[in-house]
Chains A and B, each alone.
Chain A
Amino acid sequence: MFRFVGDPIENMLGQERTDADVERLRDQLGLDDPFLLQYWNFLADAVQGNLGISFRQGRPVVEVLIERLPATLELAFISALFAILFGVLLGVYTAIRSKGWLTNLILTVSLVGVSLPTFLIGILLIYLFAVELGWLPSFGRGDTVQIGWWTTGLLTISGLKAIILPAITLGLYQMTLIMRLVRSEMSEVLNSDYIRFARARGLSERTINFKHALKNTLVPVITITGLQLGSIIAFAIVTETVFQWPGVGLLFIDSVQFVDIPVMAAYLMFISVMFVAINLIVDILYVIVDPRLRIEGAN
């Protein structure tokens, strides 16, 4: 199957190479072993925490990934925060005021968020805020601060400015999705019997909307949102490319171009682990929010 993606040796050695160099390197990397043996070696190393050596950089893959990870996680975290905060707020607003010009405006604009592709939104934002207005940087991560092995851009002004556009680009689609989900769930909950009964007991609209209705709305919203957070990390590839954000997504794209197979494999494994971990957290949250599940589990 490596034949389909090209020969990494071609890229690793320059023009000035001898056949002996090629053979030596190929043997050193184990690329001349049979496919099954290579796979076995990969698995055996992987369970011991060794994901191989990057063909491009010549350093252990784990080290390369860990170095890039904070950038991606910070970007994903900020954009998820943005998506959830505004998604829920706007969703609740449009559900409570189901008829109003602002609701209609929000819903119309949200259609744009759903239908425009991520890279186009990114480019439009760069054009408006970086090129025309010059308020925000168009690429990179700004200044970073080192805390142990973690580098953070959230503690410097330039780092904070740099994360705004990529976070919006990455989170916009999720935000509109969460908003529409919250809106439809909440309108359904607001028509339910227990909300009518709460009104009949004279509870104030605020208690009804935010105590009784919102919590019930969140039960199904948590599932979808959790799944979406997984895809925020996965979709970061496109955003990171557009903004030249030095995260794992950009690393992956570079590795694809360079046929850096160990890095690609490690990245894909990392994404899978993230998905599984997020789903686990979602399931636990579910139990915390919904008492009906707690009893089921106790039996």
Chain B
Amino acid sequence: MAMLDIKDLTIEYPDRHGVFQATKNVNLTVNRGEILGIVGESGAGKSTIGNAVMGLLQSPGRIGQGEVYLDETRLDTLPFEDMRKLRGKKIAMIFQDPMTSLNPLETVESQLVETIELHLKLGSAGARARAVSLLDQVGIPDPEQRISQYPHEFSGGMRQRVVIALALAAEPDVIIADEPTTALDVSIQAQILDLIRDLCREKNVGMILVTHDMGVISQTADRVAVMYRGKLVEIGDTKQITQNPQHEYTKALISAVPPSNMRIDRFQHVGFGKEGGGLKEFDLNNHWLGQGRSDEKGDAAILQIKDLNKVFKSTSGFLGSKGVETHAVRDVSFEVSTGQTFGIVGESGSGKSTIARLITGIHKPTSGQVVFEGLDLLARPKSRQDLLTKRQIQMIFQDPYSSLNPRMRVENIVAEPIIVNNLAGSRAEAISIARDLLQLVELDDTAGRRFPHAFSGGQRQRISIARALASRPRFLICDEPTSALDVSIQAQILNLLKDLQARLNLTLLFISHDLPVMRQMCDQIAVMRYGEIVETGDAEGIFVAPQHSYTQDLISLMPKFERLG
């Protein structure tokens, strides 16, 4: 018999309109030493299952139907206090964001010892000794010293190790890991996944690994359950699910994952009951969008960056203590050719987003040159023509939820740059152009009259793209444009960007931490670390034969999701 047995589980959230079922009749089992991956997009109900097993459903959620067994014990009907005693002792949980899952005001020691003393009768000296050995097991160097530190003295990856140590504190039988590596950089992610896998084998612990990332699943899990809108659509061995999916949704999901081993032209089957369609046909020769646009292509550099530097100074403290200087961008030079996609890849803190902000003028560089179409962007614009040139650079931001004004109608958001820049004859014309732009990014006719909150994340990102296009740009900066989105939506947005680039002869500067996405999108790639470019080159070249050791590490550590043929 399986160790953890979830039978026919239905979780309900009653609200004013009735009862919303977050999961419907889900059956899952986990054995000792086995890692079961649950994969699905946002809203699929995958996290809810973990919370239900822990007895920690957020109010007003409740188990409507079904049973949960751990060995012989039925969990879902246990009284609250009995369930509390099992939490941490029999079933433990690892959360997504290590930055927020530890109490910032207590030392790591106090949090570990507290948990150990609660579940194991070891005495305070025994508990401390166990705490030190746990930190050692999860790979924290110098555990004797570091145990007395506060969470903020640990880096993100180290904090997640502390969280794992806390989860292991009382030798649980099952660990539920909810997106344990989503908030981490690629190299750290690989280490944490290795650690999780080894610990499960070594301690014979069963694990439910909840994630949206197919790459993580395919490398870590033994079996995979695929969820879609609260239903379990397919479950099977990892190899079978990733190589030979049976259900239509699984097929669509897998085809939307950017493969790490090859470049594909477009993502296929991205519309499983979701938004999307073809680009609306416009005759660009007659349409407003086509005016003032050149079709030149080739090697001519549209953007040149020379010896760019940016130093951030933290303000000096009380009693004249010296402020700390951070060299965010150091001697960066590169050129972007017209009509191409130039990618900047790097881990968090590498300075890649700072470059986007320097180009768009959000920050002023400390030194260096930014030349766009022969115009020095750092100099004060001398003529109206200079301003027009500057406006041909537009930006798409990472978070589609905070980058749109919630109190403006979508068509006004999109029309605003047209009106402000006097690009149309009248307000009415600007609005009608905005509607055309919304159709160009595949939103329906009524979209313009609504407010941003009526749209999903992917649709909002489309609105952001339409707004960027409203200045008739030639150069688009995309700063992590899809990292807040589900894979199928990501595939649609990436397809859209590729189509728009081809039709409007756009040049893209594409910034991301996601190597497989970069491989699909970019012609040229620059790899950044600690503010410096360590390697620049042809995209396929970077992936096939990386030169710099850091690039080699990044590429060997990225979660591999390979596609055959």
Contacts and interface: CB of A to CB of B under 8 A. Distances in A.
B56 interface: yes
B92 A200 contact: yes
A299 B101 contact: no
B100 A200 contact: no
Interface string A186-210: 0000001110111111111001000
B250 interface: no
Contacts of A196: 56, 95, 101
Interface stretch (B14-22, B112-120, B278-286): B112-120
B277 interface: no
Interface residues of B, number: 35
Contacts of A204: 84, 118
A197 B118 contact: no
A229 to B, nearest CB: 22
B284 to A, nearest CB: 49
B503 interface: no
Contacts of B87: 199-202
Contact of A216 (B86, B104, B119, B321): B104
A201, A289, A296 pick with most chain B CB within 10 angstroms:
A201
B346 to A, nearest CB: 26
A147 interface: no
B166 interface: yes
Interface in B316-363: 317, 321, 324
Contacts of B106: 211-212, 215
For chain A, which range describes its interface: under 10, 10 to 19, 20 to 34, or 35 or more residues? 20 to 34
Contact of A202 (B102, B105, B119, B152): B119
Interface in B142-184: 150, 152-153, 163, 166-167, 169-170
A197 B84 contact: no
Contacts of A193: 95, 97, 100-101
Given A196-B95, A197-B95, A215-B105, A292 B84 contact: no
Contacts, number: 81
A196, A197, A199 pick with most chain B CB within 10 angstroms:
A197
B58 to A, nearest CB: 9
Contacts of A295: 150, 152-153
A56 to B, nearest CB: 42
A208 to B, nearest CB: 10
A199 B101 contact: no
Contacts of A198: 103
B152 A292 contact: yes
Contact of A201 (B92, B105, B107, B153): B92
A201 B101 contact: no
A129 to B, nearest CB: 41
B435 interface: no
Contacts of B150: 291-292, 295
Contacts of B86: 202
Given A197-B102, A207-B114, A291 B152 contact: yes
A284 to B, nearest CB: 12
A202 B88 contact: yes
A45 interface: no
5 contacts: A197-B102, A197-B163, A202-B118, A216-B105, A291-B150
Interface of A: 192-194, 196-204, 207, 211-212, 215-216, 219, 289-292, 295-297, 299
Nearest 6 pairs of A and B residues by beta carbon: A202-B88, A202-B87, A201-B88, A200-B93, A193-B100, A291-B150
Given A198-B103, A203-B88, 10 more contacts: A201-B88, A201-B166, A202-B88, A202-B119, A203-B118, A216-B105, A219-B105, A291-B107, A291-B150, A296-B317
